[in-house]
Amino acid sequence: ITEQTPLAERLKALNHPDFIANVAATIGHEVGNPLTTVRGYAQLLERDQNFTNEQKVALKWIMKESDRAISVVEDLVQVARCNRLITWQPLSIRGLLHSIAILLEAQVEKCNGKINLDLQCHANIYGDPKRLRQVILNIVLNSIEALPEKDGQVWIKAREDKGIVHIEIEDNGRGMSAQDLEKLKRPFFTTKSKATGLGITMAFQIIEEHQGCLEVFSNEGVGTMVRISLPIVECDASVSTSA
Ligand code: ADP
Ligand code: MG
């Protein structure tokens, strides 16, 4: 697309989901990153003992308003990412889950927890690796964020049964009340102070797009289990888990 492209064609391109996703990614990068820097420096300055009270209040406002703007930018990026066109390809569930467990290992250790893998599954499915990765990453992160201070455990399991692969992500975290469980599908439902509340909403949407099923079981004070069931396809998945 250039200035020479006919107007009608340019307008059509503006409506393309990939264009919208690109704009959001650019905003995330060009606005989100500088804001994060601003916030970081304000936090650094806050440690300076020589500031007057008035100046300290000003710094608090810089941080508070930066946080607000950062979270709006993050929401926008996430929603637009979901809007991207689906790219279907064969992928290995085992490879996908394994790479996510490795990615989050350090994070779970920081919370004194552990990720346990039990992958009884060599099946491939047909899907969008970036989206499925986003879904599972979000769910495992939710588990990590819910873990108790001691002996936190996250189990990531996969098994095959009658042409379906069942992925289960279970934790011994704080769990959810029946009321919260009911609100889970609602966009922007969150109990966290700096979160979007879009993770599970998008997970339901993305799993549905993959002709799959997502179920959440939770017991307050005991733990949570999220089960994703997806149809297995006969295909070669040698290409695909690195999205
Ligand atoms: P976010 O993580 O941004 O808050 P999500 O849609 O991922 O949004 O989750 C919504 C809410 O559901 C969380 O704020 C939390 O209260 C609850 N939740 C989700 N997963 C778990 C879990 N594994 N354990 C306890 N609570 C959970
Ligand atoms: Mg989440």
Tens digits of residue pLDDT in 120-130 = 999 899 999 98
CA distance 225 to 24: 32
Give the pLDDT of residue 160: 95
Give the pLDDT of residue 237: 52
Give the pLDDT of residue 242: 46
Does 32 sit in the ligand 1 pocket, CB within 6 Å?
no
Q: With H, G, I as helix, E, B as strand and everything else as coil, classify residue 56.
A: helix
Q: How many residues does the chain have?
A: 243
CA angle (184, 188, 192) in 5-degree steps: 80
Tell which one of 104, 181, 182, 200 to mutate to probe ligand 1, the residue whose CB is within 8 A of the most ligand atoms. Answer: 200
Locate the ligand 1 atom nearest the alpha carbon of residue 198 and give its number: 6
Question: What are the DSSP E strand ranges found in the chain?
Answer: 89-92, 113-120, 124-127, 152-161, 164-171, 213-219, 223-231
Give the pLDDT of residue 62: 95
Give the pLDDT of residue 29: 85
Give the pLDDT of residue 27: 86
Q: Is the ipTM of this complex over 0.85?
A: yes
> Pairing between strand 113-120 and 152-161?
parallel
Tell me, in angstroms, the distance from the centre of ligand 1 to residue 59's CA.
Answer: 31
Tell which one of 77, 142, 153, 220 to mutate to probe ligand 1, the residue whose CB is within 8 A of the most ligand atoms. Answer: 142
Tell me, in angstroms, the distance from the centre of ligand 2 to residue 131's CA.
Answer: 14
Extract the residue ranges of the chain whose pLDDT is less than 70. Answer: 1, 17, 82-84, 235-243
CA distance 100 to 228: 15
CA distance 197 to 67: 16
pTM score over 0.90: no
